Chains A and B, each alone.
Chain A
Amino acid sequence: MSEKALQVLLVEDNAGDVRLLREMFSKERADSFELTHCLRMGEAERHLAKGGVDIVLLDMGLPDGHGLDTVRRAHAAAPGVPMIVLTGLDDEALAAEAMKEGAQDYLIKGQIENRALPRALRHAIERHRMQAETDLIRVQQIQLKDEFLSHVSHELRSPLSAIRQFVTILLDGLAGELQPEQQEYMGIVLRNVKQLQSMISDLLEVTRVQAGKLMIEPQCISIADAIAYAVDTLHGAASAKGITLSSEIASRLPSVCADPMRMRQILIILVDNAIKFTPANGTVKVRARASDEDPSLVVLEVSDSGCGISPDMTERIFERLFQTSDPSLEGRKGLGLGLYICKDLVTRQGGQIWAKSVLEQGSVFSVTLPIFSLPNLMAMAFRKEVRADRPVTLVVAELGSQSGWLSNDVRAEQSHGVREVLQRCLHSHLDILLPKMGVSDAAELFFIVAITDSIGGEAIKKRIQEQLQEHVGRAGLTLSTSYRSVPHTKRDSNESTEEYLEHVAAGIQELIKVEISSRMVVNA
């Protein structure tokens, strides 16, 4: 049986060690190993990128790389290639760390017995192959399970749909008046149908989380709206249990950059959980304030006077399908997916979520979200340009329809694509495409802040028209583009950069407000 020679890449800068290892290889059958040698990490990376290497023998102290960093770099250059690290006698702890970073094995220099080297190499390759196989099977299993979940949820929805339809028909008296007792029982059926429906939605949402298909569209919003919505929605559920549900929003709370629908979803999950775990006559409170530690964050807190979570569980509750084993909490209903979904939604909006709790006294769930600050955004995007006293222009792209009205569905459907095209029309270091700044009835507005004068504004307008017209026309929508100079961009000699940016940002925000309100349909 003839096998292809194993391609071994030796990365080692010590000439003595190289000679020793070469000697060991020379004792093997000539066609069993083929050795390539690199002195430096950079050279090794280039070689690995070319492919064809079966295994790497890596020294962890190189002229251009040291310790675990070498392991990570080698792994990054060729993730699928197994690796054995070479260490000195005093470095065994480091070698063990290297194995956590993905190395298959380690050999201690000066202690490698003759026949041990080829055995270690073959063993590492085999182990790596088995590992890869296991990983692949696991990925396939998750995929299969997600497809299954998605299919099952869909199939469950149809009969549930019919149940809900007829229960509401009966409750609304469309098939004759109901006796009070019948009315009550039908109400119980409807409540449980809704429960089932939300579990099915959770299942589908989780399969989306897993597949990375969850859509998030950050906008400049006030978090107070989402809080009011959640408190409103769950007010009935709270009072049915005799729980006081209230909210407290700090005055002058800055706007955040977040998806409004997702914020509602997050708050509903957290408040709903709090109500579930709080006994009768308890309290649930939603608070929002600017973070004390980091002024660029807003903190949302949902606190309850419920049963609490034991300290070792405060992290595990965010795991997928986590279920409490505490028998006293058996009244709890759900699949244990809510907090998992929450965490994904918060993280993907640039925030963090955590829980603090005292058993029998209650829990506090905290969420941080990045605030929306136009001056900060401008400071980051414009960097050096901001020092110069240059004109600033606000470009407005307006997406509308012939009928003069845009449904939310069409907005959601189109806006992602439009943003992508707009981004292509801009210079990344001179223009900023702002997140959605507000809703107007008649149109979807996109705002671009550009460091340029009216000639530059005209150029951007033309680019947008050219690039976007076809895209928008295909969807049966209309596009119009305009620009305005931002007033008062002249910098006072005694103004700091921060003050100057605040100043310009205020001018921009004023213009945006006018643009949005001019497109509102006035209600009688």
Chain B
Amino acid sequence: MPNKKILIVDDDPDVLQGMHVRLKANQYDICLAVDTFSGVAEARRSAPDLILLDLGLPAGGGFLVMERLKMIPSLAIIPVIVVSARDGLGNQKRAFDAGAKAFLQKPVDDNQLLAVIRQALGEPATAKKPTLHDQGAV
């Protein structure tokens, strides 16, 4: 079975790189985008299985990305996980209302991130490559 493809949309290059390394190590194919516009464009171009979406993005923001995706039937069905440093209060509800599958607060616990991804992709709950050192969120 080919690897599942995940699109990461975040304007922080460090976050992008970090997630890229972590997810690649768990046998996911990765594509990246850094703003609202390129997020939608990349989703259209590479048709990912899942999108990890930041909220504070240049040129519109994560909510606008979700709105745009909803307008294209082939993209509207891609599960979206919001990963944001913003306060969960209010934003979490807004994200769910906009159709997000989950809301994760940065800094994200790696095990939690992987578990939520597997759940959204309908994969079995066991990790392909368990992280050893990040157990137990603080």
Contact = CB atoms under 8 A, between A and B. Distances in A.
Interface of A: 150, 154, 157-158, 160-162, 164-166, 168-169, 171-172, 174-175, 187, 190, 193-195, 197-198, 201, 204, 208, 213, 215, 233, 407, 409-410, 413, 475
A208 B89 contact: yes
A133 to B, nearest CB: 31
10 contacts: A157-B85, A162-B18, A164-B107, A164-B134, A165-B18, A165-B19, A171-B134, A175-B21, A197-B138, A410-B96
B101 interface: yes
B102 A409 contact: yes
A475 B101 CA distance: 12
B35 to A, nearest CB: 16
Interface in B98-112: 101-103, 105-108, 110
Contacts of B136: 233
Contacts of A475: 96-97
Contact of A154 (B87, B93, B131): B87
Contacts of A215: 89
A158 B103 contact: no
Contacts of A410: 96
B14 A171 contact: no
Interface residues of B, number: 31
Given A158-B15, A413-B92, 6 more contacts: A150-B87, A158-B106, A162-B18, A171-B132, A197-B138, A409-B96
A296 to B, nearest CB: 32
Interface of B: 12, 14-15, 18-19, 21-22, 25, 85-87, 89, 92-93, 96-97, 101-103, 105-108, 110, 119, 131-134, 136, 138
B134 A154 contact: no
Given A208-B89, A233-B136, A169 B21 contact: yes
B18 A169 contact: yes
Given A162-B15, A194-B138, A168 B131 contact: yes
A160 B102 contact: no
Contacts of A193: 107
Contacts of A174: 21-22, 25
Nearest to A167: B133
B96 A169 contact: no
A158 B12 contact: yes
Contacts of A160: 107
A190 B109 CA distance: 12
CB-CB nearest 8 A-B residue pairs: A165-B18, A161-B107, A162-B14, A171-B133, A194-B138, A161-B106, A157-B85, A168-B134
A161 B133 contact: no
B107 A169 contact: no
Nearest to B86: A154
Contact of B108 (A161, A172, A195, A204): A161
Contacts of A213: 89
A154 B136 CA distance: 21
Given A162-B14, A162-B18, A208-B89, A168 B110 contact: yes
A161 B85 contact: yes
A166 B25 CA distance: 13
A162 B12 contact: yes
Nearest to B122: A403
Nearest to A166: B18
Nearest to B130: A172
Contacts of B106: 157-158, 161
